[in-house]
Each structure stands twice: as C-alpha cells, then as structure tokens.
C-alpha cells in the first residue's frame, strides 16, 4: 500500500485528491494546521464520506521541524503540497503571511524531503495566477509569467523553487499550473461559490441581491475533481515536469452568473449588482490555458463541462440552505 502525504487536505483540492487516492488503494496522511476552528475543519472530507479513512497529523508549512518529523514518521511515497493562503483578494491585506505560507512553506517541504525522504515524489500546486498580466493570449508552460497579486508572486517563488530542487538535487518534483477549478466544496469566499450560494439564497427567499466585483474578468474554469486526477497522473510519470491543467474555454464572470441563475430559473441582471469595494487593486483580466502537453504526456482531459459543474454547485448550495431552513 503506497502512502501519500497531502498538505491542505481539508481544502477543496485536498478532499477530492484524498478521495481519489483512497480509491486507488493509498494510505492517505493529511497535514493539519491546528486552529480554533478545528471542530469544523474536516467538513469537506465529511461531505465526501472519507473523514474516517484518512489520518490527520499535526504540522505546519512554516515549521520545518514539524515537516521533517511527519516525513520521517510516515515515510510517504508521494507528497502533494496543496496548502496555501489561497484567497487572492486577502493576499493584498496579508502579503507577508501569504509569502511565508504559500511561498516559503513550499520550500520547507522540499527541504524536508531533501533531508528525510529524497526518493519520494513531490507535487507542487502552482497557479494560473502566476501568468497575471498575460504575455500571450493563450498560456502554456512556456508563457512568461507576470503575477499581479502577492498570492501570484508567492506561487511563482514556490514554482521556481520546485524547478530548482528538481534540477539541483534530483528530486522527482513536478508542478501543475492549474487554472481555476471549482466544485461544491469551493470556499464561500471565492467568486464562483459566492455566486452559486447567492443564487440558492435568492431562490429560497433568503436574499434579494448579490454584490460582486469585476463582472468582465475572464477565467478558464474546470472541475476540481478532474484537476486532482491530473495531479496524480504527474507523479506516476517516470520523469518529473511541469504541466498546464486547463479546459481551454474562457468565460466572463457575468456569463458564469447567467448559467448559475438560469439553472435556478432566475435572471442574473435582476439580482447582481457591482460593488466597488470588491474590485481588486490590480486585476487579472483574462486567463485561458492550453493543456496540450498534459493531454499528450499524461492522457488527461477534463470530463465535466462548465454547465454541469455550475448546475452541481447550485444544487449543492440549495441542499445546504434547505437543510438549514428545516433545522
């Protein structure tokens, strides 16, 4: 039975990845940062019905000694670094925390592996936010980076350090440059869940309007369930490498709104209003990925359409709010 260590296991991607790994016969160990909200921290794993099937251990990306201890104790065959301060908007308010956790935290794991388990295979969750002010209309692994937020800058540092450890120390270290990916497990602070949650509230009479920021920002959205499969495929390859993971389809936030409201039989223009307080200091206007390399080398392709994903998210939020009303 192979062992996988997953940081960020309680997040959207971590939960779906843990489910995938369990289905493939792995022992799954999740790194857990203790906090005052520990009583609700396993909600996503519980939603998928796998909370009792993973082993959660104490550790912190900012504490190298804790990472070394976890790696020495569990001797993982594969390590997936999904943990981060991952909310782009918050990174302007907490740039040092974002740099410490999202950037240096990744290097702490790489260093712990170099010291304690150099034969393990490592996955770094890189981000399309590294492209930022895009230098090419469609982004590939060769597109120059131009991050536009402290989050994007921190991710870029972690990305290049992953490449450096691969080339300097021979670690099997790969990065997935994942474009936006969503699901019913997405955090409520992200615009896609904010939209589907807002649709559910409005449909059930709990709200009348939905405030949003820039409706013309364009993103390449896929389903997290598809994207964690790409992560796993990268670590099954003989040689480590970096891969863009994307659908190749880009839509505006206002179009995402139209799909979500339309699924509930509502009209977005009757409920959505633009709030200037939600406009970012520096916007990433458009992202569109070319996953040709992942398709050719890994045999990966997305299986869930944008329309099906949006419908799944709206339905899940309707179920959540109906349960609360019934309680």
Residues that are catalytic: 127, 129, 151
User: Would you give the end-to-end CA distance of the chain in angstroms?
Assistant: 42
Neighbour count for residue 239 (Cβ, 10 Å)? 8
- The two three-digit tokens of residue 187, written as one number: 């955090």
Q: Distance of CA 129 to CAs 82, 161, 162, Å?
A: 15, 17, 17
CA distance 288 to 137: 7
Are 117 and 75 within 8 A, CB to CB?
Answer: yes
| CA torsion through residues 225, 226, 231, 235, sign | positive
Compute CA distances 238 → 118, 203, 245, 295, 297, whole Å.
15, 50, 19, 16, 11
Q: Please tell me whether residue 287 adopts helix, strand or coil conformation.
A: coil
**158: Cα separation from own chain's centroid:** 15
Question: Helices marked H in 139-219 — which ranges?
Answer: 150-169, 191-203
Q: Quick one: how far is CA 138 from the chain centroid?
A: 20
| Strand residues in 55-193 grouped as ranges (E) | 55-58, 78-81, 121-127, 172-178, 181-182
**Element spanning 254, H or E:** helix 253-263
């Amino acid at each position: 039975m192979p062992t996988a260590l997953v940081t960020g296991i309680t997040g959207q991607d971590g939960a779906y990845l843990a489910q995938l790994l369990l289905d493939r016969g792995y022992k799954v160990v999740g790194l857990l940062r203790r906090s005052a909200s520990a009583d609700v921290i396993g909600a996503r794993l519980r939603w998928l019905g796998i909370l009792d099937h993973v082993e959660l251990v104490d550790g912190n990306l900012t504490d190298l000694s804790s990472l070394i201890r976890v790696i020495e104790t569990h001797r993982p065959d594969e390590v997936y670094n999904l943990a981060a301060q991952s909310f782009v908007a918050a990174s302007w308010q907490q740039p040092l925390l974002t740099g410490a956790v999202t950037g240096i935290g990744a290097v702490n794991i790489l260093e712990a592996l170099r010291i304690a388990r150099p034969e393990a295979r490592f996955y770094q969750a890189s981000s399309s936010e590294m492209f930022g002010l895009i230098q090419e209309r469609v982004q590939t692994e060769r597109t120059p980076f131009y991050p536009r937020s402290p989050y994007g800058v921190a991710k870029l540092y972690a990305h290049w350090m992953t490449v450096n450890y691969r080339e300097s120390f021979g670690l099997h270290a790969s990065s997935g440059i994942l474009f936006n990916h969503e699901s019913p497990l997405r955090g409520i602070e992200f615009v896609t869940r904010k939209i589907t949650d807002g649709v559910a509230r409005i449909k059930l009479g709990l709200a009348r309007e939905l405030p949003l920021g820039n409706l013309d920002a364009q993103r390449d959205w896929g389903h997290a369930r598809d994207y964690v499969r790409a992560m796993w495929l990268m670590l099954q390859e003989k040689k480590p490498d970096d891969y863009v993971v994307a659908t190749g389809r880009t839509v505006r936030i206002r179009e995402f709104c139209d799909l979500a409201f339309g699924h509930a039989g509502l009209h977005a223009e009757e409920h959505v209003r633009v709030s200037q307080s939600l406009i970012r200091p520096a916007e990433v206007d458009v992202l569109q990925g070319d996953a040709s390399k992942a398709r050719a080398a890994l045999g990966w392709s997305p299986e869930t359409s944008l329309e099906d994903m949006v419908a799944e998210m709206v339905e899940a939020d309707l179920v959540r709010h109906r349960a609360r009303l019934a309680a």
